[in-house]
Amino acid sequence: MNVMELDLMERPGSETVARREPPPFPLTSRRARATDTIVAVGDTWIGGGSLALMAGPCAVEDRAQMRTVAEALCQAGVKILRGGAFKPRTSPYSFQGLGRGGLEILAEVGAEFGLAVVTEVVRPEDVSLVAGYADILQIGSRNMQNFSLLDAVGSSTRPVLLKRGMMSTIEEMLQAAEYILYRGNRQVMLCERGIRTFETYTRNTFDINAVPALKSLTHLPVIADPSHGTGKRDLVDAVAKAAAVAGADGLIVEVHPHPEDALSDGAQSLTLEAFARLVAELRLLGQALGRPLS
C-alpha cells in the first residue's frame, strides 16, 4: 500500500531518505511525454487547455428520457452524452441497467443529436460490444483495480475514462492507468469522483487536491465528477466550478429530466434547468480563465 513516486514528492515531517527511482507508472508519468495528451472524441477534444463537458443520466431508462436530455445538452453547447446501460449495483435486487438495449438507445440518440457518447463497461468480454456503440469506454470506481477489464480496454481503440476507486490512492490510480497504456491504448482520461472518508454528510469526499496532483504527475487529461463526488445536488455546482479552476480538463455531471423519478442516483442529479445555469456559469468562468468550453 502507499508506495510513492519518490522523486516527485516530499512527505512533510517524514524522516524518509528518498531514493531517486523511476516512478512505478513510467508510461503514465509526466516524464514519458513532453506535452499533455489530448483525446479526440467526435468533433471535440479533451485536454490541452479547454474545458470539456459530459452530462446525462446515471442510467439509460428509455428513449424519451435520453432525447430530452440530449436536446438540453445541444442547447447548452455540450457535446458528450453520458448514460449507463450496464450498472454495477451493490445489491442484486437493484435495477441493473437495460444492457444492450440501453446501448442502442444511447448510440441512436447520440447520432440523432450529433453527440459523442460515454458509457460504462463492466466485463472484459463486453468491451468489443460496448465499443461498437460508444465513443468513450468508462471504467467505474468499483472496477478501477479489475485488472482483466483494464487489460481488455487497453486493447481497444476507444478512449477510456478511468474512474478512481473510492478508496484508492492517487498512485494506485496512476498504476491502474498504466495497465491500459501498457496494453497499447494511450487515450486514457483519469476521473476524480470522490473518495470514501469518515464524513457522512456527503456521499463521498471530492478530493480536490487530486486534481492539481494528477496534473503534475501525469500527462493524461483529468476529469472531475462532482455528482458522485458530493452525492448531493445542491453541492454539485460549487464543486464543478472548483474542479475547473483547480485545473480539471473536463467535467462529467449527472442530469435527469425528473431527478425525483430517477431509477438511480436521483439525489445527486441536476435538473436540466439547473444544468443549463451551471454551463452558463462555467462558460463565464472559462472566459475569465482563458479556457473555452469544448
Q: How far is the CB of 242 from its own copies (least distance, A)?
A: 4
CB 138 within 8 A of CB 163: yes
Using CB under 8 A as the binding rule, whether residue 200 contacts its own copies is answered as yes
Using CB under 8 A as the binding rule, whether residue 20 contacts its own copies is answered as no
Residues 48-67 contacting its own copies, CB under 8 A: none
Q: Which stretch, 8-16, 35-43, 98-106, 127-135, contacts its own copies (CB under 8 A)?
A: 8-16
Q: Which is nearer to its own copies, 48 or 124 (CB)?
A: 124
Interface map 77-116 toward its own copies (x if CB under 8 A)? -----------xxxxxx-----------------------
Q: How far is the CB of 187 from its own copies (least distance, A)?
A: 17
Instruction: Provide Rg for the chain, Cα atoms.
Output: 18
Q: What is d(CA 38, CA 29) in angstroms, rounded to the nearest whole number? A: 15
At a CB cut-off of 8 Å and minimum separation 6, what does 129 contact?
Answer: 100, 103
Residues 141-160 contacting its own copies, CB under 8 A: 142-143, 145-148
Partners of residue 137 on adjacent β-strands: 119, 160
Q: What is d(CA 271, CA 56) in angstroms, rounded to the nearest whole number? A: 10
Q: At what angle do helices 100-113 and 63-76 cross, to 10 degrees?
A: 30
Q: How far is the CB of 206 from its own copies (least distance, A)?
A: 5
DSSP character at residue 184 = T
Using CB under 8 A as the binding rule, whether residue 6 contacts its own copies is answered as yes
Q: What is d(CA 97, CA 89) in angstroms, rounded to the nearest whole number? A: 9
Interface map 160-179 toward its own copies (x if CB under 8 A)? -----xxxxxxxx--xx-xx
**N residues, the chain:** 294
154 Cα distance to chain centroid: 17
Q: Could you write out the DSSP letters of every residue in 82-93? A: E-BSS---SSTT
Q: Which stretch, 20-28, 30-38, 47-55, 102-110, contacts its own copies (CB under 8 A)?
A: 20-28
Total chain residues near its own copies (CB under 8 A): 92
Residues 222-251 contacting its own copies, CB under 8 A: 229-232, 234-235, 237-239, 241-247
Binds its own copies (CB under 8 A): choice among 51, 208, 220, 270: 208
Q: How far is the CB of 41 from its own copies (least distance, A)?
A: 25
Using CB under 8 A as the binding rule, whether residue 275 contacts its own copies is answered as no
Q: What is d(CA 177, CA 39) in angstroms, rounded to the nearest whole number? A: 15
